[in-house]
Structure 1
Amino acid sequence: MECLLAKDKQYAKLITHTNMSQYYRQYGINWDDEMFDNTWEHFDNYEIFDHQQRVGVVRFSRTGDVIYLRDLQIEALYQNKGLGQQVIRWAKGYAVTHGATSLNLRVFPSNPAIALYKREGFTQVGQVNKLMEMTCPIA
């Protein structure tokens, strides 16, 4: 697995919309293309590759000494094969490289990825709107 700077905003938008649509429906949220487009310029965007095959995206933002994992999207065919764990570990390294003290994320409470996040050291610290907020300290 490797993560390379993203060049294809349309791919990132499509995979994010596809993967998140069930949660948006469940929680009564409307997808907003314009909001995604606006964040593209302000986030650090990476494409995830497995054996030279593009399989997903991971996106970050930063506030002070906190790195926010904004999106971790893996194509359905490649899910549940350990890539998410590899990306989380890579994201922790990204946070260290950028001098962060913690890596934070928000996730829908019904998302099964919560189990992965907990295994990788994230704990719930609150709730923002309909999303669970989790943090992982970076040493």
Structure 2
Amino acid sequence: MRLELIAASDNDLTFARDLTRRAMLPYYREFDLLWIEQAFDEAWGWREQWLVVEDGTLLGFCSLSQDRQALFIRELHLLPEHRGRGVGSWVLEELAGWAALRHLPLLRLMVFKSNPARQLYLRRGFTEMGEDECFVRMQRSTDCA
């Protein structure tokens, strides 16, 4: 497996939006939330967007932001046929390394309470920091912490 994160361009917006919508719509319905495509498109402009690629094959994407303390994973989605084979774990470890290189002590994310990815995050060293009606806030320390 030769994985890499490659900077996304505006040409990748449709792929990323469609993948996110397909992955998240069941949770939006479960928690009676409204999916707004315009909000996704607006966030595309101010977040860091990265494609998950293996030997030239597009597997998914992730969207990031940061503040003074943390690199924040806003989105992390893989095409269904590429889930369950370690790609998500690889991305999480890669992003923890990026956070450390940026001298950020934390890697953070939010996940829907019922999303099975929550277990992946726990296995990869994230701890649950709080929750609301829909989401669990999670974080893990980086090597610079």
Aligned residue-pair number: 139
The answer for the alignment partner of 1:65 in structure 2 is 69
Residue 50 of structure 1, CA deviation: 1.7
What CA distance in whole angstroms lies between the structure 2 residues aligned with 1:16 and 1:49? Answer: 16
Please, which of 22, 35, 43 is the counterpart of residue 47 of structure 2? 43
Q: Which moved more, 1:14-23 or 1:126-135?
A: 126-135
Letter in 2 for 1:64: R
Unaligned runs of 5+ in 1: none
1:25-57 CA-to-partner distances (Å, cap 9, x unmatched) read 111111111111111111110000122100100
- In the alignment, does 2:130 pair up with 1:126? yes
SS of structure 2 residue aligned to 1:41: helix
Question: Do the aligned partners of residues 98 and 128 (structure 1) sit closer, same or farther apart at CA in structure 2, a change above 3 Å counting?
Answer: farther
The answer for the alignment partner of 1:110 in structure 2 is 114
- In the alignment, does 2:133 pair up with 1:137? no
1:94-117 CA-to-partner distances (Å, cap 9, x unmatched) read 111222110010001111111110
Unaligned runs of 5+ in 2: none
What CA distance in whole angstroms lies between the structure 1 residues aligned with 2:6 and 2:84? Answer: 21
Letter in 1 for 2:112: F
What CA distance in whole angstroms lies between the structure 2 residues aligned with 1:12 and 1:72? Answer: 10
Q: TM-score, normalised to structure 1's length? A: 0.96
Structure 1 segments of 4 or more deviating over 4 A? Answer: none
The answer for the alignment partner of 1:3 in structure 2 is 5
Residue 129 of structure 1, CA deviation: 4.8
Residue 10 of structure 1, CA deviation: 0.9
What CA distance in whole angstroms lies between the structure 1 residues aligned with 2:7 and 2:65? Answer: 14
What CA distance in whole angstroms lies between the structure 2 residues aligned with 1:41 and 1:6? Answer: 11
SS of structure 1 residue aligned to 2:46: coil
The answer for the alignment partner of 1:99 in structure 2 is 103
Residue 64 of structure 1, CA deviation: 1.5
What CA distance in whole angstroms lies between the structure 2 residues aligned with 1:46 and 1:74? Answer: 12
- In the alignment, does 2:6 pair up with 1:12? no
Letter in 2 for 1:2: E
The answer for the alignment partner of 1:75 in structure 2 is 79
What CA distance in whole angstroms lies between the structure 1 residues aligned with 2:61 and 2:85? Answer: 16
